[in-house]
Amino acid sequence: MADYYDILGVSRSATQDEIKRAYRKLARKLHPDVAGPDKEGEFKDVTAAYEVLSNEEKRRLYDMGGESAVRNGGAPGGFGGSFQDIFDTFFGGATAARGPVPRGRRGQDALVPIEIELKDAVFGLDTDITVETAVRCTTCQGSCTREGSGPQTCTACGGSGSVRKVTNSFLGQVMSTTSCGVCQGHGTVITDPCLDCAGEGRVRAQQTLSVRIPAGIEDGMRIRMSGKGEVGPAGGPQGDLFIEVHVADHEQFTRQGDDLVCDLQVPMTAAALGTTVTIESFDGPEELTIEPGTSSGVSLRVRGKGVGRLHRHDRGDLVINLHVQTPTKLSAREKELLRELAEVRGETQPDAKLMSESASVFTRFKDRFL
């Protein structure tokens, strides 16, 4: 038989996508229903080539030893196989005696990144995401075969999924049972594959899913959606989908644990005399009272207006750090007024001195709360 790569018209370094495209093109051209019964032999050759080259393990065996290596499972005799092959040689291949291996396998897990706003992490979010994944082929419904046909019993193993072989050892000839290299232990082969999925039972498609982002989720956390990953080969069960959440930076607010933190600039006069200001929070307008004599470094705390806590119904706090603005550009009148204030307070020649850290902390505490 001709070289499988030549049959499909691809190079020996061809990717799986290139092999699949080449097969689909030839299968549509040579299928007996299209080209007539005279092309049935060529169609079977193309299908046999694709059956081997589309399977990584079969392709590896074929590249090492040709068609015979694939048919014999890559073990021409002796102890050239794995430890399991040696074990099977002496103990009768117990693992292969379980019967044909199901063709359908569990699909792979998938990881999808998603970016949300800080506000969405505070309150939680219901959203839709679109992912490209492997889904069940709607043409063959995962059977891998063309409509009206089905998997054919493997002639190499008679449908058992395993074959017996005689190997030579220092003990003489030993009969062993191994997985069939032609059908890969399935007991059947796909001779008339579905043209839409190339006999895989699944295709790539975009899928839209609804996702619940819980309140309190942190940057880098993952949400697991069981059974929403890729459909397995031959319509096998789906893997899981993991959604990795990234929280975008916010212009005013930052997150510290379950608290929201922001900075608020207050004019010197307002800090000295006291005032009421309104800021815009995620919950709407929030009114704050600035006590007379407030200095920079004082923090105001609004209970329950922070980030929602995971798996709980309460929230952290909103923390506002106050920064008192000292004017740098003064009019003549403003300077005059400040000089008058300094004279009244006896601060025209202030007695400046360094303070210890403990003293300054105590003073701020006293000024704020006493």
Annotated binding-site ranges for Zn(2+)? 137, 140, 154, 157, 180, 183, 194, 197
- Please give the biggest Cα pair distance in the chain: 115
- What is the distance between the alpha carbons of residues 340 and 336, in angstroms, rounded to a whole number? 6
Contact residues for 184 (Cβ-Cβ < 8 A; gap 6+): 55, 57, 58, 101
Q: How open is the CA angle 271-276-281, to the nearest 5 degrees?
A: 110
At residue 332, the 3 state secondary structure works out as helix
Asked if residue 327 lies in contact with residue 334, where contact means CB atoms within 8 angstroms, the answer is yes
Name the strand (E) or helix (H) holding 42. helix 40-53
β partners of residue 243: 112, 223
Q: How open is the CA angle 138-140-146, to the nearest 5 degrees?
A: 145
Q: Give binding residues as ranges.
A: 137, 140, 154, 157, 180, 183, 194, 197
- What is the distance between the alpha carbons of residues 361 and 370, in angstroms, rounded to a whole number? 13
Asked if residue 107 lies in contact with residue 239, where contact means CB atoms within 8 angstroms, the answer is yes
At residue 249, the 3 state secondary structure works out as coil
- What is the distance between the alpha carbons of residues 137 and 134, in angstroms, rounded to a whole number? 9
Kindly provide the b/e burial profile for residues 90-118, where b requires at least 16 CB atoms within 10 angstroms of the residue's own CB.
eeebeebeeebbebbeebeebebeeebeb
367: its two tokens: 């000024």
